[in-house]
Amino acid sequence: ERDYVERCSQKKVEVGRPYLYKDYGTPWILNFPTKYHWKHPSKIEWVEQGLKYFADHYQRGGITSVAFPKLGCSNGGLEWSLVSPLMEKHLKDLSIDVFICEDTEKDASGIEGMMVHMLNNIENLSWSAELGLRSDIKRKIISALPVHRFRDLRKVEGIGKQTYKDVFSFLYSSADHSNDKTLSQQIEVENLNLFEQTRDSCDHSTESDIQSHVVASEEMKDSSNSVSMQLEEIPEVRISESQTDGLPEYDDLFYVVLPSIEKALSIAQTKDEIVKGFDQPKKTIDNWLKKAEELGKVKKLPGRPVRYIATASAQAKQLECSFIV
């Protein structure tokens, strides 16, 4: 955001000239201005200028894949029926993977889905206390629940830019706390309502491919822009036989839900909180926690009431350090 403000003050942000911002790490952000002022409408010719510029310069930037929103069609006010043919015209023949994020889903999925889940369960989970959220702000959030997309939080009266930014950053880091290559992290789960799946959905097959993308933003006027969405949905969860070689003989469904358990326990929770958050019988949760402990993925914290936490979480590592001291 600071970089964007500085560029604006120096008049370096121009329509028709997208620029690449790499300081956030991966994925890179491509800022694609479609108007001269964020309050003003976009123009179709500015969108086309930017598309031409991108097509001519993407190789120089080292871009190997890119995801675009519907350029100029949100706050810019342009009709998607006019913008879509232009984007296809200028992007279809590029030698990279190009994704158009139409973002028409009513409900969140992927990492945003985990964030929405934690937001909607703010009364049952402990993250608001860890974040230091003021009680009056927490009450305002609760009064607006449930939300379907994280960006709905912007519409809540009394939730300002900084609060939105703080909650987003905290929940995003909690939902995406680990990227190790263990079995539990190789299984990607898109649907948060995992427990409606049966063992039949866990048939054996090859691993799915994972692809990283450059995310293109239409404009970056402030941190309350819409939450970036997953670019592709994974229709079902599959586990290959090689992934379970040498591991205890647990049911396939446990391996499906294990990544979600680890993500949910990136912050410490009691068993009752886990039961309520996952909406499963206590006996089922007991079995899952026992299996996760045996695999070293989850551990109990000392004290009463007993709380559980994922061993890979940042909070668990901080607690280990404090116990050593």
What local confidence, expressed as pLDDT, does residue 315 receive?
52
Q: What is the pLDDT of residues 123-146, one digit of tens each?
A: 988 899 889 999 999 999 999 999
**Taking the CB of residue 61, how many other CB atoms lie within 10 A of it?**
16
DSSP letters, 214-275, are EEEES--SSTTSPPPPPSS---S----GGGGTTS----HHHHHHHHHHHHHTTS-EEHHHHH
What's the rounded mean pLDDT across residues 33-59?
A: 91
54 pLDDT above the threshold of 90: yes
pLDDT(267) > 90: no
d(C-alpha 325, C-alpha 215), whole Å: 42
Report the CATH number at residue 20.
3.40.220.10
Alpha helices in the chain, H assignment, sequence order: 2-9, 44-57, 80-91, 110-120, 127-131, 135-143, 161-175, 183-186, 252-264, 271-278, 282-294, 314-324
Range of the domain at 137: 106-176
Q: Tell me what the pLDDT averaged over the chain comes to.
A: 74
Determine, yes or no, domain membership for 224. Answer: no
Q: What's the pLDDT score for residue 1? A: 61
Pair 172, 187 in one domain = no
- Which has more confidence, 174 or 187? 174
| pLDDT the model gives residue 264 | 85
Can you give the pLDDT at residue 188? 35
| Confidence check: pLDDT of 226 > 50 | no
> Domain containing 131 — which CATH number?
1.10.150
Whether residue 70 is found in the same domain as residue 157: no
Question: Which pTM was predicted?
Answer: 0.46
